[in-house]
Amino acid sequence: MNRYVNQFMKFNCAGDILNSVLPMKRPVQQVTETMSILKQLRSRVLREPNKYSIVEITNGNGLEAISALHMLPIKQATVFSTKPPCKLLDRVKNLKYYNRNFNYDRDKQFVDPNTILLVSGFNSNCDSSQSAIDAFLDNAPNPGLIILPEHGFYIPEDTAVTKLMGKYAATCMRIRDLVGGKMIMDRNIIGPRNILIVA
């Protein structure tokens, strides 16, 4: 069994988390992506428990933010998603869920110097993704930004780097440079999206 899936299933809250987000199209992929993101969150959050809030911008079900609320000392989480909320989502404490895109000009009240931004499925053609970067840069220095770029989305540029690394990795590199972060390839993620940008 995959290491991340095994870790996730050992948590007593795993059933509650999954019940909050069902149905899932690719549960194993989503769980491994979530555990990779939580691994990056953990060190930041544990230094000052219950200080930080999370804003997740996604086209999915908010699994990352919901898992963080269950597994880490997070003050609260807000999810902006184009996917309607699941039926049992109201059972999750300290969670706000908005079935719409994130727009920094409109949603500034959700972001402050103690907010960590998660972008699951980053796509620069999507206004929400660009708004997340604007929010991060506008509030710097802040606790952080974690991006999982969308596979199949590429920033077009015919360069030697693209030819050497492939379109997905080269796109991740450009996003990394844009936010001044680092690129982390996680081979424990099952699926094509296995690079995180952490700033």
Q: Which pTM was predicted?
A: 0.91
Cα–Cα distances in angstroms (integers) from residue 117 to residues 54, 79, 125, 166, in the given order = 6, 10, 18, 27
Q: Is the pLDDT reported for residue 143 higher than 90? A: no
CA nearest neighbour of 68 among 36, 104, 26, 98: 36
In the chain, the number of structural domains is 1
pLDDT band, very low/low/confident/very high, at 138 (cuts 50, 70, 90): confident
d(CA 163, CA 169): 10
The letter for the amino acid at 101 is N
Mean of pLDDT values over 62-81: 96
* Domain containing residue 97: CATH number: 3.40.50
Full residue range of the structural domain in which residue 170 is found:
3-198
CA nearest neighbour of 74 among 131, 144, 141: 144
Mean of pLDDT values over 99-111: 93
pLDDT band, very low/low/confident/very high, at 153 (cuts 50, 70, 90): low
Residue 58: beta bridge partners? Answer: 81, 120
* Mean pLDDT comparison of 75-79, 84-88, 168-172, 190-194, highest-scoring range: 75-79
